[in-house]
A and B are shown apart, each in its own frame.
Chain A
Amino acid sequence: MTAPEDGAGRWYDDAAGPVVRPYAMTRGRTVSTAEDRLDLIALVVAAEPLTSLPGGAHGLTDRSLSPEHLDIADLALRSPQSVADLATGLDLPVGVVRVLVGDLLAAGYVHVSRPVPPAELPDEGVLREVIAGLRAL
């Protein structure tokens, strides 16, 4: 796509406005640094360096991290969080979460466990557990 001919101002129309702000915390980056786009159900788990910190992720002194990075890391300390969980839990757009998780991943503060690839199915035991779990809900 090319820029509209009547000036760059048109990029910032009303519809685009709200999008600009959340991306400020990613310093304008819109594409995650992780190799491939993180799936909505990719699970983010805090890595060992964080679990050993007394104050949780907020005890980190890494100045390259924003409060939102720390919020994500803190949530991931408690239990595995999917990208979608983080987006709804922190009220951030999915695209922003992807970028922030990519940073944490690159810095070694979290692991990401990717969902079962499309061509495969989770193993039989898991499916049986899901069925039993649903019935018991």
Chain B
Amino acid sequence: MHAPAPVALKILVAGGFGAGKTTFVGAVSEIKPLRTEELLTEAGRPVDDTSGVEHKRTTTVAMDFGRITLRPELVLYLFGTPGQDRFWFLWDELASGALGAVVLADTRRLRDCFAAVDYFERRGIPFTLAVNCFDGAARYPEEAVREALDLDPGVPVVLCDARDRESVKDVLVTVVENARGSRSTSAGTARPAACSATTPPAGW
């Protein structure tokens, strides 16, 4: 093989329960459920502590998985992180080598994304906070969200509509730009993206 090695990049999509992760991944890629069957003991992780299943060795975790083929040898993969806390050992694998992450926040339940924010901060993985514009949710100004989540000034905060392809593309561009910025300078590029304030398409 003399061709340059193909390049694969991954971006994680995290957020609280129902924050729009699946919708987000589906807006820009053909989404497929990825089944991982984890042997908890062999992974060297504590066995899940849900009562009554102590004897269980394996657990099936389904993740959202999307592929964006930029050219045959350059592919961007999106992984929707599993929501439950007990699968956080899977995040470690996903996070390793990730270009960056998106944390989707629903302003009606902003606390739900604390765990994800905390996780990426601790591991020094550059992330972008994307405020998903659900109907009827108060439109928090960027600064209010930043303050409520106590975000570092280098973390981009953008508004998005996870159903809208263009909006999701903008968020992903911000993630990549942020990754680029985190190499040379310490600050990322905070670029407010427009939230489509219009009513959702009929039938949604």
Tell whether B1 is near chain A: CB-to-CB under 8 Å. Answer: yes
Tell whether B108 is near chain A: CB-to-CB under 8 Å. Answer: no
How many residue pairs at the A-B interface have CB separations less than 8 Å? 142
Majority secondary structure, B binding face: mixed
Tell whether A19 is near chain B: CB-to-CB under 8 Å. Answer: yes
Number of residues in A with C-beta < 8 Å to the partner? 51
Tell whether B190 is near chain A: CB-to-CB under 8 Å. Answer: no
Interface range for B:
35 or more
Residues of A within 8 A of B10 (CB): 40-41, 115
Determine if B35 and A129 form an interchain contact, defined as CB atoms under 8 angstroms apart: no
How many angstroms from the CA of A48 to the CA of B1 in the assembled complex? 8
Determine if A127 and B28 form an interchain contact, defined as CB atoms under 8 angstroms apart: no
Tell whether B163 is near chain A: CB-to-CB under 8 Å. Answer: no
Tell whether A13 is near chain B: CB-to-CB under 8 Å. Answer: yes
Residues of B within 8 A of A118 (CB): 96-98
Residues of B within 8 A of A40 (CB): 10, 34, 77, 79, 93-94
* Given A31-B42, A39-B96, A130-B176, also A93-B37 (CB < 8 A): yes
Tell whether B41 is near chain A: CB-to-CB under 8 Å. Answer: yes
Determine if A133 and B72 form an interchain contact, defined as CB atoms under 8 angstroms apart: no
CB under 8 Å from chain A, chain B span 23-65: 28, 32-42, 47, 53-60, 65
* Given A40-B94, A134-B169, also A129-B77 (CB < 8 A): no
Residues of A within 8 A of B97 (CB): 39, 41, 115-118
Q: Which residue from A4, A43, A82, A116 sits with its C-beta under 8 Å from B55?
A: A4
For residue A10, which residue of chain B has the nearest CB?
B55
Instruction: Knowing that A10-B55, A40-B10 touch, tell me 15 more A-B residue pairs with CB under 8 angstroms.
Output: A13-B56, A30-B42, A40-B34, A41-B10, A87-B36, A88-B32, A93-B35, A95-B38, A95-B39, A113-B8, A115-B10, A126-B9, A130-B70, A134-B70, A135-B169
Q: Residues of B at under 8 Å CB distance from A?
A: 1, 5-10, 28, 32-42, 47, 53-60, 65, 67-68, 70-77, 79, 93-94, 96-99, 165, 169, 172-173, 176-177, 179-180, 183
Jot down 13 A-B pairs with beta carbons below 8 A, ordered by A: A16-B56, A40-B79, A41-B8, A42-B8, A43-B6, A84-B65, A84-B77, A95-B39, A113-B8, A115-B97, A117-B97, A118-B97, A135-B169
Q: Residues of A at under 8 Å CB distance from B?
A: 1, 4, 10-11, 13, 15-16, 18-19, 22, 30-31, 37, 39-43, 45, 47-48, 79-80, 82, 84-85, 87-88, 92-96, 111, 113, 115-118, 121-122, 124, 126-127, 129-131, 133-135, 137
